[in-house]
Structure 1
Amino acid sequence: MAKHEPITGHYVYLTVEDIEYRVYYEEAGQGIPLIVGHTAGSDGRQYRHLLNDPEVTDRYRVIAFDLPFHGKSLPPHGEKWWEQEYQMTKTRMIAFPNALTEALELDSPVYMGSSMGGHLAIDLASKHADRYRATIAVEGALRSAAEYVHVGMAGIRREYDNPKVSRTSTGAAMMLNISPYSPEANVREIQWEYQCGGPGVFAGDLYYYYYDHHVTPEEARAIDTSQCMLYLLTGEYDPNTSPAETQELADLVPGCKFWAMPKLGHFPVTENYEEFRQYLLPILQEIIDNSDLPALEEAGSTPQ
């Protein structure tokens, strides 16, 4: 008998800023909706290990979507997208999970994102706490490291927009962001995913990651974790967002919870899911407990 995974794929049409997008998403499980957002320049394949984890999908409906221009979500048909520079803004970044929530009629979902998706988890908790019961920021912070911002978008585009080198150079560059303790098979998987990206897309995503996401101390203090709980997880070996930078955010947000993850890097969901889930499962259990739903059995050890 053929081996199958419990994952199904769909296309849904989302209208954002008066443009209709055909967006691909994969899902598995049942229960509380858990929307997961990918890193800059990649796609929802990063969450295949999570989608196949029955300790999650027994109580959560996990939905991994590809942003337009990423993975199986093509650029918008009928729009002359090739005549303008691709650039992901904060407003647009926020709009997509909100539109997905409405289109799929999700009731108070949880959002979890990594890297730029981790930044987004913070922006959603700040701006749209009424839509989400909790958000989980993986490798998130108030802002991206200043030394990267000083490079400027012109420098970033020169590095990543050249179609002759962008796929290989981007895949190689990602190796620098991964923990040396990660299994090589997982590391190569991340590299492969980045080599599949369209020219200019990674650089365009970095506009949001480096510039448009910037949470002020006042905005951080105003996040209401009694309405939308904010969880923070950051890998020890992440050179882009260090645990110290996430701690800076955690110190400002009343009631949020933060764990640094030893031996993990910038892509913990993919680079070593078995380690990452030891931190994720107790969080998902706590969300269930606070939602007055049946408990997950053997949900893993509590983060220390």
Structure 2
Amino acid sequence: MHGTIEPICGKYVHVDILGETCRVYFEENGQGIPLLCLHTAGSDARQFRHLLCDEEITRTYRVIAFDMPWHGKSYPPVGFQNHDYELTTERYVQTIRAFSSALRLDKPVVMGCSIGGRIVLQLAHAHGDEFKALIGLEGADFQHPWYDTSWLNRPDVHGGEVCAALVSGLVAPQSPDEYRYETLWQYKQGGPGIFKGDLYFYRVDSDLRGKLGGINTAKTPLYLLTGEYDFSCSPEDTIRTAQSIPGAKVTIMEQVGHFPMSENPAQFRQYILPVLNDIAERSASV
């Protein structure tokens, strides 16, 4: 029997986030332009494992994906048992900036999905000069909630199964079963109340409508890619958002839903490669 070792390398970094020391787990592979990947609500950085192993991408990009505190292999900060987890816009932005600073990343490209796609817009608005480019997957300035979060942290309900059931309809019907159930498995493993805490950001603390003025896409390009089967962040939501941001580039991806990088990596690759190539070409010409 011969084993195949993937090229992904996993590490921990200690990061100060709003006065709390957090032990953050991340995986990386490749060299070149830093590409910092942000996972969806209630999940973790395993969603980007296919990107991390893509030799064509890692020849040009140092792909980095981290588990946010409270997620995956990143523990909550000391004293977490004394309060509920709620992700706010301020905490999310500072988490990304603190992690980037801790790794001494020089103007990374940031690519986030879902809540990560939403926070990318805030980064473009408030901190665009810190990044080479920004990529929002399944991102828009606002979506009307379509779910009941009271089911996501109850002692009489299996939280992981409810989380997976909630998002299962967001996977496109064309996505291979292998990756569909891998994506849902990640949701089943989330900590108690973490999905609910992430959705606090999504439905309460991050309505960005009318708040994105001044984004300079000539200096920091902004790419928005949304799956045609996503009814949480619909193509119409993304197109509406882009119309308020001069120079934002929109792509509607066929045959994928809300988790393009994990639910159908081959299909997603057809859409993300041109974007990454465009960013690399822009970077080389500067």
2:182 to 169, 177, 189: 189
User: How far did 1:39 drift?
Assistant: 0.3
> Is structure 2 residue 88 aligned with structure 1 residue 89?
yes
User: How far did 1:216 drift?
Assistant: 2.7
Where do 1:64-143 residues align within 5 Å? 64-76=65-77, 79-143=78-142
Q: Secondary structure at the match of 1:291?
A: helix
Name the CA distance, whole Å, in 1 between partners of 2:22 and 2:73: 12
Q: Secondary structure at the match of 1:129?
A: helix
Identity rate of aligned residues, in percent? 43
- Which range moved further: 6-15 or 163-172? 163-172
Counterpart of 2:245, as a letter, is V
Name the CA distance, whole Å, in 1 between partners of 2:164 and 2:239: 29
- Which range moved further: 205-214 or 33-42? 205-214
> Is structure 2 residue 204 aligned with structure 1 residue 214?
no
Name the CA distance, whole Å, in 2 between partners of 1:30 and 1:162: 44
TM-score, scaled to structure 2: 0.96
User: How far did 1:165 drift?
Assistant: 1.4
1:279 to 271, 274, 278: 271
Where do 1:136-151 residues align within 5 Å? 136-145=135-144, 147-148=145-146
Q: Provide Cα deviations, 1:139-175, integer angstroms capped at 9, x if missing partner.
A: 0001122x43xx7xxx51x210024411111112221
2:225 to 219, 227, 233: 233
Name the CA distance, whole Å, in 1 between partners of 2:79 and 2:16: 16
Q: Provide Cα deviations, 1:5-48, integer angstroms capped at 9, x if missing partner.
A: 01000000110110000000000000000000000000000000
Counterpart of 1:62, as a letter, is V
Name the CA distance, whole Å, in 1 between partners of 2:97 and 2:220: 15
Name the CA distance, whole Å, in 1 between partners of 2:143 and 2:199: 10
Match of 1:301 in 2: none
Name the CA distance, whole Å, in 1 between partners of 2:32 and 2:65: 15
Q: Provide Cα deviations, 1:198-253, integer angstroms capped at 9, x if missing partner.
A: 11000000011112112233x33421112211100000000101001100011111
Question: Are the aligned partners of 1:21 and 1:68 in contact in 2 as well (CA < 8 Å)?
Answer: yes
Q: Secondary structure at the match of 2:12?
A: strand
> Is structure 2 residue 252 aligned with structure 1 residue 251?
no
User: How far did 1:101 drift?
Assistant: 1.1
Counterpart of 1:53, as a letter, is D
Match of 1:297 in 2: none
TM-score, scaled to structure 1: 0.91
Name the CA distance, whole Å, in 2 between partners of 1:144 and 1:40: 14
1:198 to 191, 202, 220: 191
Structure 2 unpaired stretches of 5+:
none
User: How far did 1:130 drift?
Assistant: 1.2
Counterpart of 1:93, as a letter, is Y
Q: Secondary structure at the match of 1:10?
A: strand
Question: Are the aligned partners of 1:135 and 1:230 in contact in 2 as well (CA < 8 Å)?
Answer: yes
Name the CA distance, whole Å, in 2 between partners of 1:83 and 1:106: 33
Match of 2:172 in 1: 179
Name the CA distance, whole Å, in 2 between partners of 1:222 and 1:276: 30
Name the CA distance, whole Å, in 2 between partners of 1:137 and 1:205: 17
Name the CA distance, whole Å, in 1 between partners of 2:206 and 2:267: 28
Question: Are the aligned partners of 1:220 and 1:249 in contact in 2 as well (CA < 8 Å)?
Answer: no
Name the CA distance, whole Å, in 2 between partners of 1:276 and 1:189: 16
Q: Secondary structure at the match of 1:292?
A: helix
Question: Are the aligned partners of 2:122 and 2:212 in contact in 1 as well (CA < 8 Å)?
Answer: no
Name the CA distance, whole Å, in 2 between partners of 1:225 and 1:45: 30
Name the CA distance, whole Å, in 1 between partners of 2:270 and 2:120: 20
Name the CA distance, whole Å, in 1 between partners of 2:102 and 2:72: 20
Question: Are the aligned partners of 1:221 and 1:254 in contact in 2 as well (CA < 8 Å)?
Answer: no
Counterpart of 1:263, as a letter, is Q
